[in-house]
Chains A and B, each alone.
Chain A
Amino acid sequence: MAAKQNLSEPSDSDSSSLTDQSVSGRSGNRSLRVAEKERRKNEAEDPFVLALKYFSDVGAGTPVYGNDEFETNLVLVERVAYSKGLSPEAISVMLEFAMSLRMGTGPCVRVLKCLIPATIVPQEPIVRAVVWLGVGKIPISTQVLFIKWVLTVFDMIDAKDQLRAIYGFIFSFVTEENLCPFICHLLYLLTRKESVRVFRVRKLLELQSKLGRQPFLLHLLSLYKVFCPELVTLSIPSRMKSGFRNYNTPWKSALIAVQKRNGSQLASSTSLPFTIKDKTSSRKRKHCHLELPVLSSLVNKQPQTELSSSRKVVPLVQLNSFAQLLENIHRIELPAQMGSLLGSSLALQYLDCVQDESALLRLNFWLGYALHEEFLFYGDGGAYQNSEEALQFLDKLLFTQHFLQEAFSSSEAFLYKFLSVWDGSLLRPQILGLLSNIPVVPSSQIGRLLFEPLMQLFFTSSLFFKCGLMECLNNMLLKWLTWHSVYALEDDLDISLNSHTSINMTLSGFKDSVMELVHFVGRLASVGLQLEGCHTLLLSFVLDFYETVCDTFLKYGLPLVVMPPPGVFYPALFSLDPVSVDRLAYIMYRYKVNLTSAKSQEKVTEQAFHISRQTFREFNHYLVVMVNCLWNSNMFRPGMGVQLGEEVLLKSNVPQYWTSFDLVHHPAFMSYAVDFHQRCWPGRKDMDLNSIKHSKPWSWYLEYLYSQGYDGLKQCVPAP
């Protein structure tokens, strides 16, 4: 009505408003007034406006046949509708005209078919039209057409509150057999938790018993189930198509054309965010442990929670976007099966804020069950036969753990058992990935739980496994250290791993665990390098690890310095590959920086963290060896790490054996020395590398070497 009044106003009150204006706006701009007047005049004379006025004013019972005025006006409206679309006011007028049947049912259908909105659709005329449906004079087919139209333009309706307010009224039309599918769809779009009532469920079930299993009833009921699982029990066949059939055909193409022309992108998506999981069960497994449970709302509501049910909760299933999640984060209801959280990325966001101890326990029970059944009990072949599925499952688990930056306890517990039966190749990247996520293990148990099985695997597996394990242990150490550096700041260096049980981890406990791990890797690396003939790839992973170790104090604030064992130091020092030697030099340099800063801090704060003299001694020793060997050409001197008897060295017939590992003669750098020699003395025929050792060329040579990107060497012993 309001729209109609608005429209009719210009003609009715044209003169009066004009006089009003002339009275009130005497001082106003005259030309503006003229323009305004002109516009109004044009508008009044605009045939389209006149046509609308005709439809809003035409009296009931006006004949249609032979009514030229009606015909021209309607053709005009149709033309505008198909070209530009109708404005909200026009829709309002035309819908009112059509549904009131002022000129019978014929024009009604014709008008409905051309109701193509240009922008939005106001909800009031729709509410009125629904009321007209109730009057009952409109033929069923026309009613269907109307509901279809509402469904088509549903997303363009400006507000839905009034439509929701008449939910019950709309619901009453479900009994009309032909309308039912469309009404169900409309109800589906309008349903809120409060609209799900026992009597409505009963009505739908009654209808179902009359009509048989109809997808539209099922869809509506399944939505009811989402809101109130305690009211309706339903199993959705896996074959069922998701969503309602597309009812919007008559308008769809015209609507798209109009929208395109108007350049507006009002996405009319009547496709529903339907929650039925599309089970594409290509493989049929009898027991599939690895299938994530479907996200569904809680059925087993506790009586005591009814008290708090006045506080509205929102089932997680109902949320479709991150914005919705944020909006409802204080009142989200956990799903019936916690495992289902892993299946949805949105739910995963929420998992991060879950405070409920029991909920996490539920998740862990499920996860533990799935992992055990699949990888340890393998009731039906397990992972060995379903590796594709297992792979996806573990990838999902890894993704989740990385997302949460924390491991699940059940996966940790599982790993301890699995390591002892693992062949080292099944799903290696995933298992190693999970392994690198495990939290700090108390040093009393770390040996039995981790080291023993890992040692067996390490020594019996290929080079690539060895490298993989090194990387995994490096990541593990990194995570432990990061964890420490974050939480050590929060409190006085006392880390309690946990509260419930006796495993409280003090700083010294944590240090012990880290030390155990570093020593363990040292042992593995020493023997591994020997076994694999100091393979460069393995050496590179080992050096990665020590790059983490050498910086524990400065980077992670852990007052702990552990030197590499000789089995790692010497292979790196004598490596054939200049990069390894350079990295070793870098590591030694970082050790130096860490140790000096620890020492100075010790002096300043006089705090009793103590780095043992033994560590300093080891470091000094290594540094002396390295510098003597590479820079000072002073190899095999008594008191150094590598000692050989004088007579053995003489027997080897190597001239000037003490120089054979300096930066000139070291096999890794020999090519640089040769290159340098050629550049330095281009004319010389006979090559005498020893001539590089003279003080001037030596400093040039070092400069040359450092300019090749060997920053580690450069940092260790800066150029003179």
Chain B
Amino acid sequence: MERQHNSVVRTPLNSVVVQRRSKSKSYRQSYRSCLGAASRLGLTPALTARRLNTSRRAPKSHNITDKVDPEQLTLLLKTEWKLSYVTPLYQFRHTQLKSYSRQLSAFIAAEKQQGLAVDAEGSQSSFRVSFSVVQGMTETADDAETVLIQIHSKPMFAKQDDPQKLVWSGWLACINGNPDYLSSLSKDFICLPLFGSSGPEVLTTLVKSWFQQMFDCCFGPLEISHTSLQWLVALWTNCHTESNIQHLRMIWTLPVTPPLQITYTVDAQDAWELWSSVRKDPEEESEGGEEVEEGGSIDLKEVMRFMQGLKNHFYRHFRLDLSAGSLQQVSTALGSAKYSGRIKVSSDGKNCSQSFSQDTFLLTHTRKDKCCTNIFFLSF
């Protein structure tokens, strides 16, 4: 179809020259770029179904502080983040963060005082917003750098010289994003599909609506699915030898009336032993044909066996089959994750640097998991 059409294809997308394009193709073109390489909300490449990992690399201890500034890292730890997914941001520039800070503070001030205009410099605002880049919070070259947003404000009745306090923080990240998808996206877009927020809901809403108006993107709630939570149970337990997880706590709900919530706590050592027992033999693995590095990958089957073991144990004691219920929350000393899409990564004070790396690894891993969840979530 159409020679002129082809000429458009050869023209780079961000070319300044406006191409006369055959009208008919306009939607379809964007459509395939949307569909061909899997938009989050579109279809995955070969119009395939979900991206559901059946096997993952086990976390290897590496010191994330080499990559990421520890000071910034502490900002991300020990806070419970509410997760959302975000469609690609249009015309977002990591170089413009200063100006974004000003504009967002002005926006918040304007929204707080409905019907009162504020100048776009945001100078009179009682909220101070700062955007910053968390360097190194990426896994692949295609991942966009993580952006941290903090909002400081003075308490209502504070004294003149009281310092402003951090009232809200959030971040946008892309860790281990789908490379096919990322590279297919036009240069006008930055993909930071995972948004975590912590602080008053009002501010979260304001930040989201500012992003929507500014970068024409959309935010949707991101739940951590049952399966993802089970993955976390296994992945965290798997870390026990390197960093004490202290306990493995799961919260289940059972569909009975009145609803029954069960908190199931397992001693770290017991959990680890159970986990080791369900792990495949390395020999058995190599029988499978693939040469896997030591402790290299964890299979979904192993996770399921582990969960079954935990459930069996519970049944033996309480005669309650947890299979009928759903896993709502998982927590260990390393962190916690909830079905509602809240995660937290903690740090262990004693073994600081080691646990930093471990935790952040988990954070990234968890995030990676979220990203996957994200993709999974959006593409089935």
Q: Do A and B bind each other?
A: yes
- By a CB distance below 8 angstroms, the chain B residues around A412 are 31, 35
Closest to A201 in B: B119
Contacts of A296 in B (CB 8 A): 213
Interface residues of B in 2-36 (CB under 8 A from A): 2-3, 5-6, 8-9, 13, 18-36
Residue on B nearest A414 in the bound complex, by CB? B41
**Stretch of B84-92, B251-259, B330-338 on the interface side:** B84-92
Q: Which of B25, B26, B114, B217 is A354 in contact with, Cβ under 8 Å?
A: B26
**Which B residues are in CB contact (< 8 Å) with A449?**
47
List, in ascending order, chain B residues with CB within 8 A of A240's CB: 115
Which of B33, B215, B221 lies in contact with A300, CB distance below 8 A? Answer: B215
* Assembly CA distance A307 to B188 (angstroms): 18
B110 touches A234 (CB 8 A): yes
How far is B99's CA from A97's CA once the two chains are assembled, in angstroms? 54
User: Assuming A355-B19, A369-B41, is B34 touching A364 (CB within 8 A)?
Assistant: yes
Asked if B196 is at the interface (CB within 8 A of a chain A CB), the reply is no
B90 near A362 (CB under 8 angstroms)?
A: yes
Interface contact B218-A365, CB-CB below 8 Å: yes
Give Cα A37 to B23, complex, Å: 67
- Interface size bucket, B side? 35 or more
Tell me how far the C-beta of B187 lies from the nearest C-beta in chain A, rounded to whole angstroms.
Answer: 9
Q: Choose the segment among A159-167, A371-379, A543-551 that binds chain B (4+ C-beta atoms closer than 8 Å).
A: A371-379
Interface centre among A221, A230, A352, A498 (most CB of B within 10 A): A498
Q: Which residues of B contact A368 (CB under 8 A)?
A: 34, 39-42, 87
- Tell me whether B306 is interfacial, beta carbon within 8 Å: no
Q: How far is the CB of A112 from chain B (nearest CB, A)?
A: 33
Contact between A498 and B36, CB atoms less than 8 A apart: yes
Nearest CB to that of B36 among chain A residues?
Answer: A501
Q: At the interface, yes or no: B276 with Cβ under 8 Å from chain A?
A: no
Query: CA separation between A368 and B47, bound complex, in Å?
Result: 16
Picked from B18, B19, B31, B214, the residue with its CB within 8 Å of the CB of A409 is B31
A205 CB-CB contact with B under 8 Å: yes
Whether the pair A355, B21 counts as a contact (CB closer than 8 A) is yes
Question: B43 within 8 Å of A by Cβ?
Answer: yes
B91 to chain A, nearest CB (A): 5
How far is it, in angstroms, between the C-alpha of A417 and the C-alpha of B5 when the chains are bound? 30
Interface residues of B in 38-61 (CB under 8 A from A): 39-43, 47
The answer, yes or no, to whether A357 is at the interface (CB within 8 Å) is yes
**Contact residues in B for A413 (Cβ distance below 8 Å):** 34-35, 39, 41-43
Contact flags A487-529 to B (C-beta < 8 A → 1, else 0) = 1001100111111111100000000000000000000000000
Question: Would you give the shortest CB distance from A428 to chain B, in whole angstroms?
Answer: 23
| A237 at interface by CB-CB < 8 Å | yes
* A residues less than 8 Å from B218 (CB atoms): 365-366, 369-370
Chain B positions 75-111 with a Cβ under 8 Å from a chain A Cβ: 87-88, 90-91, 93, 103, 106-107, 109-111
Q: Does B166 contact A (CB under 8 A)?
A: no
B319-338 CB mask vs A (1 if < 8 Å, else 0) is 00000000000000000000
With CB as the reference atom, state the residue of chain A lying closest to B102. A233
Q: Are the C-beta atoms of A213 and B115 separated by less than 8 Å? A: yes
Q: Is the CB of B117 within 8 A of A221?
A: yes
Collect the chain A residues with CB atoms within 8 Å of residue B91's CB: 300, 302
Kindly state the separation between the CA atoms of A225 and B103 in the bound complex, as whole angstroms.
13
Query: Is A486 touching B26 in the complex (CB atoms < 8 A)?
Result: no
Check A10 for interface membership: any CB of B closer than 8 A: no
Q: Please, which residue of chain A has its CB at the minimum distance from the CB of B6?
A: A499
Query: How many Å from the CB of B373 to the closest CB on chain A?
Result: 13
Contact among B8, B20, B42, B111 with A235 in the assembled complex (CB-CB below 8 Å):
B111
Contacts of B376 in A (CB 8 A): none
Q: Given the complex, which residues of A lie within 8 Å of B5, measured CB to CB?
A: 496, 499
Q: CB < 8 Å: which of A234, A299, A372, A417 contacts B213?
A: A299
Q: Is the CB of A338 within 8 A of B216?
A: yes
Q: Pick the interface stretch among A21-29, A78-86, A264-272, A400-408.
A: A400-408
Q: 7 closest pairs, A vs B, by CB?
A: A409-B31, A368-B41, A501-B36, A360-B30, A369-B218, A233-B106, A499-B9
| 29 CB < 8 A contacts A-B | A201-B119, A205-B119, A213-B113, A213-B116, A229-B120, A231-B119, A233-B118, A293-B212, A355-B26, A360-B26, A364-B30, A365-B34, A365-B218, A366-B87, A409-B31, A449-B47, A483-B24, A486-B24, A487-B1, A487-B24, A497-B1, A499-B8, A499-B9, A499-B25, A499-B32, A500-B9, A500-B32, A501-B33, A503-B32
Chain B interface residues toward A at CB < 8 A: 1-3, 5-6, 8-9, 13, 18-37, 39-43, 47, 87-88, 90-91, 93, 103, 106-107, 109-111, 113-120, 122, 186, 188-189, 212-218, 220-221, 378, 380
